[in-house]
Amino acid sequence: MEELGNGPQEKLVAVFDVLTEWIQGDDFRGCMFINAAAEFSSKNDAISQVASDHKVLMCEFLDGLVKDAGYSNPETLSYQLALLVEGAIVIGHVCGDKAL
């Protein structure tokens, strides 16, 4: 991320640039954490917990960038951005729509 943007706003844009590149790649098979959580749906399953932990870390990462950028209402914005990220991954994988 450091090489993709200097400031927090540039890094937020870079998140979506990297996401687009990943989803449009020939090797894209969706998110292994989403896929694993679907297969191991019990909250007591270690695999499900790892998937959940990863998603929490991703939300915290976005929240940090949003707060560093100085946006008002950062909790809401970071949640909305996380929904866009996760939604793009699922649509790209399940529907095969890679046009982001």
Q: What is the pTM of this model?
A: 0.86
Domain assignment of residue 1, yes or no: no
- What was the pLDDT predicted at 42? 85
Total domains in the chain come to 1
The domain of 85 spans 8-95
Label residue 60 by pLDDT band (50, 70, 90): very high
43-66 mean pLDDT: 94
Domain assignment of residue 76, yes or no: yes
pLDDT of residue 4 exceeding 80: no
9-37 mean pLDDT: 94
Domain assignment of residue 100, yes or no: no
Domain assignment of residue 30, yes or no: yes
Tokens found for residue 25: 């790649």
CATH number for position 24: 1.10.357.10
Closest CA to 77 of 59, 53, 51, 52: 59
Cα–Cα distance for residue pair 77/57, rounded to 1 Å: 16
The Cβ-side half-sphere exposure at 25, using a 13 Å CA radius, reads 13
Domain assignment of residue 2, yes or no: no
